[in-house]
Amino acid sequence: MTEPFPPEDELLPAQPPSLDGVPDAAPDGAPVTRPARTLGLTTFTIEDRRAPGLFVVGWLGILVGVGLLTIGLMGGTGIAAAVISVAAYAALSLGLVLLAGSQTIERRAAGAAYAGPSPVLVFLAIVATARLAGFVVGVPLLAVADSVPIEVGDLLAVIVQAIVFLGIVRLSVVGPGVLSWAEMGLSRTRSFLRELAGGAVFAGPVILVTAMIAAVAVQVVGVVPPSPLPPTGTTSGLVLHLLAGAVIAPFYEEVLFRGFALNAWRKTVGTRGAIVRSSILFVLAHMLFVGGDTFGEAVSLAFVGGVVRIPIALALGWLYVRTGSLWGPIGLHAAFNGILIAIGETAVAQ
């Protein structure tokens, strides 16, 4: 008997293997689409990168910035230390922004579900740039610092932070087309006042829960963290602190933590995971620069300052997802801060 005729596909020429296991062409000769390779920021190679210059210069900025910060911490105080700190934060700001751009380009080329920079990376860029802006704005004001009222200085600091927050989000997120302002929930609707008021309604219950958690936390660690805007007991202090803490700060913080961060993580870890992650980032941001006379005191103050913000962080995330708009969370955040500021100022005035 003769051998059976081989199947048709066995008569086709074998495809040479490729390095990644995907043949260069299908049996019918049609090209095969290879899965895109995502090159992360910790993959230290420039091969196949779409923007190797951003990656290399970005990491160089990080290394230079960390090195200068280390030198500055070892060098003590004085003009030299201040100059080194400015150079360090400038290098860090540049490096982090460039790495955010590199990450966006790589993810977009790979067709990732979320083709933008990591919220953590953008937040670090904001922290570094805010520190740099603090030096640039603060140093020239040292000569007249004693004549500037505390509440005016607090308002100026919040305005500088607002410019930095919104500027970095504009540069790293809105500019490259990752998310628009409208997609983050800042749509121009006639009902935004109603949405602000609707969010503010939840401030009372959230403050009640926060107060109960604060009482337990303070009892456990034995310290009370100071207010970010220490009350002055004056009318001007009340007005300017309300402007800073209940108008400006809620706006730029909600843009970053809910409009951008929650939106970004929602595309990769789902709604619940995004609420949790953005809340953690929000809490950590308010713990970052808490200080104390000793290391133990600083840790205790940071602990209390963190746990008391968990209820408001989760409530803001829930409200953002529920409404699909930033105006509701901004209203809740503004009312929450405003009530606490008013209580603090009233208590000091008495």
Contact 187, 325 (CB under 8 A): yes
Is pLDDT of 21 > 50?
no
**For 80, what's the count of Cα atoms within 13 Å in the CB-facing half-sphere?**
7
- Report pLDDT digits (tens) over 44-93: 888 888 889 999 999 999 999 999 998 887 766 677 888 888 999 999 99
Cα dihedral sign, 140-146-150-151: negative
Write the pLDDT tens digit of every residue in 150-187. 899 999 999 999 999 999 999 999 999 999 999 999 98
CA distance 138 to 135: 5
pLDDT in tens, 208-227: 999 999 999 999 988 888 88
The stretches of the chain forming alpha helices (DSSP H) are: 8-11, 52-75, 79-109, 119-141, 150-169, 192-200, 203-221, 235-243, 249-254, 263-287, 295-307, 310-323, 327-349
If one compares 105 and 298, the residue with the highest pLDDT of the two is: 105
Residue 94 has pLDDT above 80, yes or no: yes
pTM of the model: 0.86
| pLDDT value at residue 128 | 97
